[in-house]
Chain A
Amino acid sequence: MSDIVKTLHYDVDPKDFDSVGEASGKTKNVLRQLGFPPEVLRRVAIAMYEGEINMVIHANGGTADVEISPKQIKITLKDNGPGIPDIEKAMQKGYSTASEEARSLGFGAGMGLFNMDTYADELNITTKIGVGTTVEMIIRT
């Protein structure tokens, strides 16, 4: 698309729980500097943060790409993790396969995909068992 004003790229580290959310926080700051309204900032930040968390606690990290245009923000999260066997089930509130370690940090409420679906205008998940998952979200401004 020709109206893309900025693209961002981040690597999401699989081993460092403490840095989860860095990409989402930085993206939020960039959008704030570009003058997007608070509501848009929040929706992008929350949806992307949930996606980032999933890449760390369920997959082996991955990449986050953001395409910013005046009308929409597109977030693409790509991992090479185990894939999601049953997306419909995974989307349900409260469903979680998170580890004890992840839970002890406050993750694993099983609300992530539900939140992403709520805050994004479009959510597309492509997944292949043993290959990985790509989550694409569009937030219209």
Chain B
Amino acid sequence: MKVKQVIQILDSKIITGEEFIENDVFSACGSDLMSDVLAFVKDQGMLLTGLVNPQVIRTAEMMDIHTIVFVRGKQPDDSVKEMAKERDMVILTTDYPLYVACGKLYEAGLSGGRPTL
């Protein structure tokens, strides 16, 4: 799935990273617990979360995650946006809650992925 399809499925707004909408996303993970995200490495993954603090960007950085979706209409502040930009990440927002956002993507064929290192 491409980032632009994610945008369409989730009625998302792009906060930063417009230039990467043709990038591929092979799997996704949804969580508000960053250590749970860190427990499961997947390639070309995307993170959906209701948290909007700098630790989300850090977690994504450690995991090589380049696409982040903030759910439930949560808006990141400028410092979070800036951090994401510096790391060439895409940040999207959606009004859907976490469960629904994940469900819609799963239904569209985006899997939870297989763990890799």
Contact = CB atoms under 8 A, between A and B. Distances in A.
Given A107-B35, A112-B35, A42 B53 contact: no
A20 interface: yes
Interface of B: 32-36, 38-39, 41, 49, 51, 53-56, 58-59, 61-64, 79, 117
Given A18-B53, A21-B54, A21-B62, 11 more contacts: A17-B53, A25-B62, A39-B117, A42-B41, A53-B35, A106-B51, A107-B55, A110-B35, A111-B38, A111-B39, A115-B39
Contacts of B56: 106
B39 A21 contact: no
A43 B49 CA distance: 22
Q: How large is the interface on A (under 10, 10 to 19, 20 to 34, 35 or more residues)?
A: 20 to 34
B38 A107 contact: no
Interface of A: 17-21, 24-25, 28, 38-39, 41-43, 45-46, 49-50, 53, 105-112, 114-115, 118
